[in-house]
Amino acid sequence: MRKLLGVIGDPVSHSLSPFIQNSWLRENRIEAVYAALEVKAGELEQSLRSLETHGAIGLNVTLPHKEEALRLAASAGDTARRLGAANTLIPRKEGGWHAENTDAPGFALTLDYGDIDVKEREVFLLGAGGSARAVADTLVQRGARLTICNRTVDRADALALALAPAARILTLDEGLMRLHSAALVVNTLSLGHQGGRLQLPESSGGIFYDISYGKAAAASLAQAKAKGWRGLDGLGMLVAQAALSFEKWFGVMPDLANAHARARKLLEAVQ
C-alpha cells in the first residue's frame, strides 16, 4: 500500500502542495501519495496521533496550526524554535514528530535564485504575521537594514523584539510614504485575499516582492510594476519551502526550476 504524506490546515483545499509534492514523489519513484488534509482548529493533536498510527511518513502544516504543531512536537530544529512555528513534521523512530520550519530557508533560497543581495541594503517588510517572522529572520541573518511596517504596531514591536532587535518600526501608512528608496520591499500582508491593494509610491528600480501569489498578489504587483518596481510573487517561495520539506523527508532536493514552471502553468490555468 502507498504511504501517506499531506498538508494539514484549514482551509486547505486550494493548496498547490499536493500538485507539487506528488510530482516529486512520482519523479523519485516513491510509493506514496500526498494529500490535502482539512483539520479544524483544536483538532490537531488528535489528528497527529491518528496520522502517526496510520504510518504517515511526512507532513506539512499550514494556517492555523503552525504554532501548535511546534508545541506538540517531541523535538524541533533551531529555525522552528526561533520562529515559534513549524511547517514540516517528520516521524521519529522513537515515536512522535520532529518539527522543522522551511518557510525561512525557502524565502532565503528565492533571494539566492533571484540574485537579490540584501546585505546592508534598505529593506522594508510589510506585515508582522506568521510569514513575516520567517522573512524577517532571513533578512536579519543576511544583514539587511530592516524597517518593519504593520497596521498593528504592537505586533511589529513583538516581532522585532523576538527576531530583529535593530529593525526600525513604522505604522503601515508611514512605511508606505517612506519606502520609495528601498532596494527591496517584501509584502507579507494578507489584504490581497480580501480584495485590498497597496498604494505604492514610485520607485527607481527597487524590487517589490509579494509573497502571496495568484489573485491575492495580482493587484499589488500590477500597481508595483506601473510605479517602476520590479515585481516578484510568492510562487517561488512556495515551491522552495516545499522542496526543502521534501529534502527533510527523503534526503533528495528536487529541481526547483522545473517545479516552479509547472506550478506557474497550473496557477495560470486555474486563474
E strands, the chain, are: 3-9, 32-38, 58-61, 75-76, 88-91, 97-100, 122-126, 145-150, 168-171, 184-187, 207-210, 230-232
Q: Is 105 in the site for ligand NDP (CB under 6 A)?
A: no
Q: Single out the residue of 191, 67, 74 nearest to residue 126, CA to CA.
A: 191
Binds ligand NDP by CB under 6 A, chosen from 132, 136, 176, 179: 132
Q: Is 66 a catalytic residue?
A: yes
Contacting ligand NDP within 231-270 (CB under 6 A): 234, 237-238, 241
Sheet of 75-76, strand order: 32-38, 3-9, 58-61, 88-91, 97-100, 75-76
Choose the binding region for ligand NDP from 31-39, 89-97, 147-155, 178-186 (rule: CB under 6 A): 147-155
SS3 135: helix
Letter for the amino acid at 238?
L
7: contact with ligand NDP by CB under 6 A = no
Q: Toward ligand NDP, which CB reaches closer, 16 or 37?
A: 16
Query: CA–CA separation, 5 vs 185, rounded Å?
Result: 34
The region of 16-24, 151-159, 176-184, 244-252 touching ligand NDP under the rule CB under 6 A is 151-159
Q: Which of 28, 46, 50, 152 binds ligand NDP (CB under 6 A)?
A: 152
Question: Is residue 150 close enough to count as binding ligand NDP by CB under 6 A?
Answer: yes
C-alpha closest to that of 150 among 188, 113, 122: 188
Site string for ligand NDP, 187-206 (x = CB under 6 A): -xxxx-xx-x----------
Binding track over 161-190 against ligand NDP, x by CB under 6 A? -----------x---------------xxx
Q: Taking phi first (over 0 means left), then psi (-120 to 50 degrees means alpha), and beta for anything else, what does residue 205 get?
A: left
**Could you tell me the smallest distance in angstroms from the CB atom of residue 92 to ligand NDP?**
25
Is 75 one of the binding residues for ligand NDP (CB under 6 A)?
Answer: no
CB atoms within 10 A of CB 9: 24
Q: Which of 216, 221, 243, 244 binds ligand NDP (CB under 6 A)?
A: 216
Angle at 98 between CA 141 and CA 22, to 5 degrees: 90
> Which of residues 3 and 248 has its CB atom nearest to ligand NDP in the complex?
248
Grid cell for residue 89? 513534521
**Of the listed 3, 40, 66, 265, which one is catalytic?**
66
Size of the site for ligand NDP (CB under 6 A): 27
Positions annotated as catalytic residues are: 66
Site residues (vs ligand NDP, CB under 6 A): 63, 103, 127-132, 150-152, 155, 172, 188-191, 193-194, 196, 211-212, 216, 234, 237-238, 241
